[in-house]
Chain A
């Protein structure tokens, strides 16, 4: 699914290296932005959690053997009605998190899957999660703000 066009230029951008310790730098950047922009707590938490999950995937799996020089950017946009969009753009291998199936509902700890909860969390805490591949880059679009989960009941 193609990401809808964002409204106007980004209000902030961040570029990071493909290292795990850069994730903390990105979430701190977002927390500062949330404070200075006065975002509601739910918007701040949903975006911070989703950015953490999305960057964990990109950095952990997007650049096997560092075959290309990693370029990872996060852009932040204001949308109408107080919503906020984060756009994560990277030149890693093509990966569409929206295609990942959610873990089923386990009946017991024995049946429970240990992992696979990252995309489930993004869907739950975001209004929408969309992906496109353009010019050799992944673009993942995270929108929070209206209070409607992206994947409830899907």
Chain B
């Protein structure tokens, strides 16, 4: 699995994942993911290129969202494939972490560049 991180603004970071977020994938990205989250208060996680997520992937997202929440930060998930969306909703993750349909909408909600002047 691949991971790319990019700063969006001060303490805002975009994490783009690509590949299967299964036990092998999660092990490959968890270090980089955690480091990117450590320095941020807002983290947008782009799942557009993630076709599969298992419970280990949910654990990765929840653990980092929890860490953000403890310092009044937040995580936003975006671009979920329909099956990934079902996995997140069936485990209640959608009630705990904000989910946006696309990366553009997630960024627009932050007021970050490339998002334009979308509705709040």
A118 touches B63 (CB 8 A): no
Contact count A vs B, C-beta below 8 Å: 71
Considering residues A23, A45, A125, which has the most beta carbons from chain B within 10 angstroms of its beta carbon? Answer: A45
Count of chain B residues near A, Cβ 8 A? 25
Q: Is A35 an interface residue (CB 8 A)?
A: no
Q: Is A49 an interface residue (CB 8 A)?
A: yes
User: Separation in Å of the A29 CB from the closest CB of chain B?
Assistant: 14
A120 touches B90 (CB 8 A): yes
Q: Is A115 an interface residue (CB 8 A)?
A: yes
Q: State A118–B24 Cα separation when bound (angstroms).
A: 15
CB-CB contacts of B44-82 with A at 8 A, as 1s and 0s? 000000001011101100110110011000000000000
Q: Is B31 an interface residue (CB 8 A)?
A: no
**Would you call the interface of chain A mostly helix, strand, loop, or mixed?**
helix
Considering residues A20, A21, A109, A110, which has the most beta carbons from chain B within 10 angstroms of its beta carbon? Answer: A109
User: Separation in Å of the A115 CB from the closest CB of chain B?
Assistant: 5
User: Separation in Å of the A111 CB from the closest CB of chain B?
Assistant: 9
Q: State A120–B91 Cα separation when bound (angstroms).
A: 7
When distances are taken between beta carbons in the complex, the residues of chain B under 8 Å from A21 are: 24
A49 touches B66 (CB 8 A): no
User: Separation in Å of the A40 CB from the closest CB of chain B?
Assistant: 12
A49 touches B87 (CB 8 A): yes
When distances are taken between beta carbons in the complex, the residues of chain A under 8 Å from B58 are: 117
Chain B residue with the shortest CB-CB distance to A21: B24
Q: Is B30 an interface residue (CB 8 A)?
A: no
Q: Is A11 an interface residue (CB 8 A)?
A: no
Q: Show 22 residue pairs from A and B whose CB-CB distance is below 8 angstroms, ordered by the A residue.
A: A20-B24, A20-B27, A21-B24, A23-B23, A24-B24, A48-B52, A49-B54, A52-B54, A56-B23, A105-B92, A105-B95, A106-B92, A106-B96, A109-B69, A112-B62, A114-B66, A115-B55, A115-B59, A117-B58, A120-B55, A121-B55, A121-B91
Known: A21-B24, A52-B23, A114-B66. 7 other contacts (CB 8 A): A20-B24, A49-B87, A109-B62, A112-B62, A120-B90, A124-B91, A125-B86
